[in-house]
A and B are shown apart, each in its own frame.
Chain A
């Protein structure tokens, strides 16, 4: 085959170009840390990467949801705890009343019960992050209203029920509130307190049955608090699960997308050697011609 100078030159330039393209590609992979940057780099891998990225983003959102939910349920639990404390105090006031012989100390006890009532309504109207925790889905209005003369407690007429569900995982939602109806059995607890206060006020020692009622209510609150605790526990387990998933997804994504630095560095070295030898050969062979030997 006749080989002309021009074909020698264009072939040399062609292979030099291929090697340089390879070097630029590897350099890009090494400097960006990503082996797949564009869909055309590897369409199949890219679609997996997009899906993984999607799952990672959703996972991050679920973690955020769970953390918000935990805060809410923990606050609910501590509010229920405060309410239980109030009932404990109520019980000790009742015990004092029962042991009292002098009827004139009863109105003073009534005052104590009245201040416990105010406190109890406040606790039932606990707000967290702008939400009334025990309002059901009516989170903007206080669920319980204490009349100005403390004669009655009324529930929000719009309702104090309704579950607030947060999404805490793919296809999993969790109710993160305990509504006022469930927690305080509507206004029953307040009604009992008003009844006891009024009875003490009028100098009557409350019947033993009312002591039992308070105990029943305390049991109920402890059970509700336990329920909140269980939700909190579930959320924390879920959080751990999400974190594990995140680690797995991240390592999968990295497998598909990130540059294998050792591999790329080795290929880069190879390409450099190729470039050097191509340049070397070109520089030696191309300038040679018959003219060099003609006198």
Chain B
């Protein structure tokens, strides 16, 4: 049977353990609002008992460890949701920019410019002999070509911005992968020495999560607790170090390459993945539609216009109305800008004939787009609606992914988050145990005094 001093020993360990408990509680409370923090709990175990003839006698409590409460499964789900959310967000931002560049709601878009252009030809058909209506027509035509050019330029600017943005985000990616691999080294060292560096693990998970919003990363762990982060099959961060990524444009395509091997890295989603997709397929798709529109307009109007006659003696004929081949290069022929009388309204050279003006005005309702199934306005309206539908789909995706994220985050918060009520309860719990252990010390002290007093009396 143990002596009184052994009871003191038990009390001392109890005091110490409850103090550690309060310490951990304090740490949790301090980090209640720290992003990415997982609550920690102290693992208390009963110390090894001593065997006596009457049975085992406990020797008190000991702290066996401090563990981090975290659900890796939730982390993985959050990472993949993050990638989809990032991708949808990138689509949403870029497409909204394009939508506002099309400018349809303000009445300054291509659709209304096309309408005004053809209207001017109608006006010319009313007064083919009048220089005034020609001047107005020239102005409208120049506004139309300018609108084509600005819209095309807006697509170019959006593309250029995407490259800048991807480059900036790759700087973040490279910083993140570097700190992930640094942290990984420290964590595996700690684990090798038998302690769990919870706060470092939190930091690493936090950085992986930030990374997962930028690109669709796959995370795997080995038995040593080391983490390997890869994207599209290329390892970009591990205990062994990080691989820096860079972006380059070649042949009109945006590539993400590994700086170490120079090989292309496929980034399918996340912010960067979304932006790469926009650059490589979505924007070129819109541009093609816009260019087709411009080129059909140029060809059809020029065909009619060259056959017509302007004003003068002899009436000028054989002139093109537009120059250029696509939305970026379309312009009014310089000859017409210099002399509006070169605008052909007449089909036979007489000043009052308006047959060519009428024919060009009629191009508005001719089906010259999409293999003869749509007019210019219809083709443009389908471009506008396809951008609108894409924006609307991206919006929906952002909302639904956001909802999933919120749900997962609530679940994670439920597992790993700090509840102040719980911590306050723990404070009381540990404090009371501490009080009781202290009471034990004073009681043993009293017992010692009693014991010593026995001898004197």
Contacts and interface: CB of A to CB of B under 8 A. Distances in A.
Contact of A7 (B33, B130, B364, B414): B414
Given A11-B410, A54-B377, A294-B424, A39 B104 contact: yes
B105 A38 contact: yes
Given A50-B381, A173-B358, A40 B417 contact: no
Interface stretch (B18-26, B45-53, B322-330, B347-355): B347-355
A46 interface: yes
A10 B155 CA distance: 37
Contact of A6 (B115, B381, B417): B417
A38 B381 contact: no
Contacts of B415: 2
Most buried by B among A132, A139, A291: A139
Interface residues of A, number: 56
B352 to A, nearest CB: 3
A248 B419 CA distance: 63
B352 A136 contact: yes
A47 to B, nearest CB: 4
B154 to A, nearest CB: 15
A52 B32 CA distance: 58
A137 B346 contact: yes
A159 B346 CA distance: 15
A108 to B, nearest CB: 40
Contacts of B391: 38-40
Contacts of A141: 351
Contact of A159 (B104, B350, B409): B350
B378 A139 contact: no
A39 B122 contact: no
A141 to B, nearest CB: 8
B377 A50 contact: yes
A279 B350 CA distance: 76
B352 A164 contact: yes
B417 to A, nearest CB: 4
B93 interface: no
B400 interface: no
A68 interface: yes
Interface string A128-151: 011110011111110000000000
Given A51-B378, A129-B127, A4 B350 contact: no
Nearest to A56: B115
Interface residues of B, number: 64
A43 B385 contact: yes
Interface string A2-14: 1111110011001
Interface stretch (A57-65, A188-196, A227-235): A57-65
B381 A167 contact: no
Contacts of B364: 58
Give the dominant DSSP class at A's interface: mixed
B385 to A, nearest CB: 4
Contacts of A158: 350
Contact of B425 (A34, A38, A41, A290): A290
B96 interface: yes
Given A38-B99, A39-B102, A54-B115, A130 B361 contact: no
Contact of B409 (A3, A10, A289): A10
B214 to A, nearest CB: 22
B111 A54 contact: yes
A51 B381 contact: yes
B126 A65 contact: yes
A167 B358 contact: yes
A27 to B, nearest CB: 17
Contacts of A11: 406, 410
Contacts of A212: none
Contacts of A245: none
B350 A137 contact: yes
Contact of A40 (B115, B358, B392): B392
Nearest to A138: B350
A4 B418 contact: yes
B388 interface: yes
A41 B392 CA distance: 7
A130 to B, nearest CB: 6
Most buried by A among B96, B105, B391: B105
B16 interface: no
A165 B385 contact: no
Given A137-B353, A139-B351, A294-B424, A6 B119 contact: no
A165 B351 CA distance: 13
B395 interface: yes
Contacts of A140: 129, 351-352
B57 interface: no
A130 B127 CA distance: 9
Contact of B354 (A6, A14, A39, A164): A164
Contacts of B130: 130
Contact of A39 (B129, B365, B387, B417): B387
A74 to B, nearest CB: 15
A46 B351 contact: no
A170 interface: yes
A14 B405 CA distance: 12
Contacts of A3: 414, 419
A266 B434 CA distance: 61
Interface string A108-142: 00000000000000000000011110011111110
Interface in B391-427: 391-392, 395, 406, 409-410, 413-415, 417-422, 424-425
A287 B122 CA distance: 70
Interface in B353-367: 353-355, 358, 361-362, 364-365
Given A47-B381, A64-B126, A165-B354, 5 more contacts: A11-B410, A46-B385, A166-B354, A167-B362, A290-B425
6 contacts: A2-B417, A40-B387, A140-B351, A165-B358, A166-B354, A167-B358
